[in-house]
């Protein structure tokens, strides 16, 4: 058995890497820190034109009908660029969640109104699951998919009251969402809602893990560049073992996390029974690895790494934010432990 991404999956990823490499330099990420909460996401039209935004949407709504195996490579590149746009929330979670709901009058109406618009990049959809206190990108979303009391609701942004909440990552927009559930917004109840929310959590965790791998890779690249030109004691500091070992350890941790992410994507794409465990493994490993890469990067950069003017913090703070979102490493390890020790236990709440 050959367990590797196909040439086509690699080509999709390379194409996004090319676009983001040219169109999303750190200056774009920095600009997002100062943007209004409801400003249109950076590069959204270009990404939509390229088919990235709608890649997970079924073809009947203008998407490409692609799955998680195509998506993780793209998300890793989004992480590598610290893309300040809701690819994770809209493309990786909201669109598949909405597309997979069973048909019904409310669901059909919501899908007809929003799925095509989301796939075309005209509407952002944000997701707020019950265990998460904040909703990312709520202010610039047109539609919010919200879980409460075992039900899923599709709430137009205008029908919700938002209170902005600062994130450690200034390019990330969080908000408390206050809203009133109604029959008109209810899109799923009972087992359907519970399963959809659980799958959305797994999708979000794997997507965040993929972005974290990209962020970690970028921070190591930045640091390798730095330690080759920063001289101390008459030599480049990268020649010292204390520096090299830091970076080698961080790199090794990332390389161990990436197969976990690929495996979890495979499990999601094939709807395997152990998907939740694979998702937790991926998120726990990638979160730890990205945080470790950030620590090594900060240490090796020395004082300049702490400065706001240096690019490192743009990537490090995104890594901190995503490591905590969609369940942090401790929560995911606990979920793995529960699955290992008690096959019948239901997953508990998580904290974002």
Partner 1 sequence: MKILVPLKRVPDPELKTKIKDGAIDLSGASWVVNPFDEYAVETALRLLENGDAGTREGGEVVVVTIGPSEAAQQVRSALAMGADRAIRVDAEDKAIDALTVVAVLQAIVAEEKPDLILMGKQAVDGDANQVGQMLAGKLGLPQATFAASIELAEDKASVLVGREVDAGVEYKRIPLPGLVTVDLRIVSPTAVKNHVTPDAFAYGDGPRYASLKGIMAAKKKPLADKTLADYGVTASPVIAEKGVELPPARPPGQKVDDIPTLVQKLVEEAKAL
Q: Running DSSP on this structure, what letter comes out for residue 102?
A: P
User: Which residue stretch of 51-59, 97-105, 251-259, 318-326 sits at the interface with partner 1 (rule: CB under 8 A)?
Assistant: 51-59
Q: What values do phi and psi take at 175, rounded to 5?
A: -155, 145
C-alpha–C-alpha distance, residues 38 and 31, integer Å: 14
Q: Which is nearer to partner 1, 51 or 305 (by Cβ)?
A: 51
> Applying CB under 8 A, which of residues 35, 39, 50, 168 lies at the interface with partner 1?
50
∠ at Cα 19 (170, 24), nearest 5°? 25
CA distance 64 to 60: 9
Q: Which is nearer to partner 1, 50 or 192 (CB)?
A: 50
Closest distance of CB 57 from partner 1, Å: 12
Contact 111, 47 (CB under 8 A): no
Rounded to the nearest 10 degrees, the angle between the axes of helix 7-23 and helix 68-80 is 30
Q: Does 64 bind partner 1 (CB under 8 A)?
A: yes
Binding mask 182-221 for partner 1 (x = CB under 8 A): ----------------------------------------
Length of the chain: 352
For residue 118, state whether it binds partner 1 (rule: CB under 8 A).
Answer: no
Q: Which of 24, 32, 55, 253 binds partner 1 (CB under 8 A)?
A: 55
Does 15 help bind partner 1 (rule: CB under 8 A)?
yes
52 binds partner 1 (CB under 8 A): yes
Q: State the minimum distance, in angstroms, from the CB of residue 25 to partner 1.
A: 15
Across the beta sheet with 186-188, what order do the strands follow? 125-128, 143-148, 151-156, 186-188
In the complex, the smallest distance separating the C-beta of residue 86 from partner 1, rounded to whole angstroms, is: 18
How far, in Å, CA of 255 to CA of 324, rounded?
A: 20
66 binds partner 1 (CB under 8 A): yes
Residue 64 or 159 having the CB closest to partner 1: 64
Distance of alpha carbon 154 from the chain centroid: 21
Residue 134 has phi, psi (to 5 degrees) of: -120, 160
| Residue 49 interacts with partner 1 (CB under 8 A): yes or no | yes
269 binds partner 1 per the rule CB under 8 A: no
Interface segment toward partner 1; rule CB under 8 A; list 8-16, 192-200, 226-234, 287-295: 8-16
249 is a contact residue toward partner 1 (CB under 8 A): no
Report the site for partner 1 in 275-294 (rule: CB under 8 A).
none
In the bound complex, what is the minimum distance in angstroms from residue 51's beta carbon to partner 1?
4
Q: Which is nearer to partner 1, 20 or 152 (CB)?
A: 20
| Alpha-carbon 304 to chain mean position | 28
The SS3 call for residue 100 is helix
**Residue 17 or residue 153: which is nearer to partner 1 going by CB?**
17
- Residues 298-317 close enough to bind partner 1 by CB under 8 A: none
Phi/psi at 59 (5° precision): -60, -30
* CA-based nearest residue to 290, from 245, 330, 258: 258
Measured distance between the N- and C-terminal CA atoms of the chain, rounded to whole angstroms? 37
Closest CB 203 distance from partner 1, rounded Å: 19
Residues contacting residue 50 through CB under 8 Å, at least 6 positions apart? 15, 16, 19
CB of 40 to partner 1, least distance (A): 18
Kindly state whether residue 268 participates in binding partner 1, applying the rule CB under 8 A.
Answer: no
Q: Kindly report the three-state secondary structure assignment for every residue of 296-326.
A: HHHHHHHHHHHCCCCCHHHHHHHHHHHHHCC
Map the footprint of partner 1 across residues 120-139, applying CB under 8 A: none
Number of residues in contact with partner 1 under rule CB under 8 A: 16
Task: Choose between 9 and 167: whose C-beta lies nearer to partner 1.
Answer: 9
Integer Cα distance of 231 and 235 in angstroms:
5
Please report, as ranges, the residues that interact with partner 1 according to CB under 8 A: 7-8, 11-12, 15, 18-19, 46, 49-52, 55, 64, 66, 70
């Amino acid at each position: 058995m050959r367990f590797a991404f196909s040439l086509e999956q690699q080509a999709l990823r390379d194409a996004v890497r090319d676009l983001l490499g040219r169109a999303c330099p750190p200056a774009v990420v920095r600009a997002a820190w100062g943007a209004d909460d409801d400003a249109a996401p950076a590069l959204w039209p270009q990404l939509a034109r390229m088919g990235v935004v709608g890649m997970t949407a079924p073809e009947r709504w203008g998407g490409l009908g692609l799955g998680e195996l195509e998506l993780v490579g793209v998300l890793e590149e989004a992480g590598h660029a610290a893309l300040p746009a809701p690819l994770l929330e809209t493309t990786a979670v909201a669109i598949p969640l909405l597309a997979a709901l069973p048909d019904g009058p409310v669901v059909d109406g919501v899908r007809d109104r929003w799925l095509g618009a989301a796939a075309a990049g005209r509407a952002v959809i944000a997701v707020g699951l019950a265990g998460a206190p904040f909703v990312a990108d709520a202010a610039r979303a047109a539609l919010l998919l919200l879980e409460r009391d075992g039900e899923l609701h599709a709430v137009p942004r205008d029908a919700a009251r938002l209170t902005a909440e600062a994130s450690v990552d200034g390019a990330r927009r969080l908000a408390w969402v206050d809203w009133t559930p109604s029959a008109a917004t209810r899109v799923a109840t009972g087992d359907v809602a519970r399963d959809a929310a659980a799958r959305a959590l797994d999708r979000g965790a794997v997507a965040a893990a993929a972005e974290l791998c990209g962020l970690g890779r970028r921070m190591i690249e930045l640091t390798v560049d730095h330690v080759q030109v920063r001289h101390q004691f008459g030599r480049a500091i990268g020649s010292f073992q204390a520096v090299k070992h830091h970076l080698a350890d961080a790199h090794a941790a990332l390389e161990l996390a990436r197969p976990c992410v690929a495996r979890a994507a495979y499990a999601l794409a094939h709807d395997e029974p152990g998907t939740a465990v694979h998702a937790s493994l991926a998120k726990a490993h990638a979160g730890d690895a990205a945080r470790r890469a950030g620590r090594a990067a900060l240490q090796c950069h020395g004082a300049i790494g702490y400065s706001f003017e240096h690019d490192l913090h743009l990537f490090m703070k995104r890594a901190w934010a995503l490591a905590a979102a969609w369940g942090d490493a401790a929560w995911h390890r606990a979920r793995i432990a529960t699955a290992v020790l008690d096959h019948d236990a239901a997953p508990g709440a998580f904290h974002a």
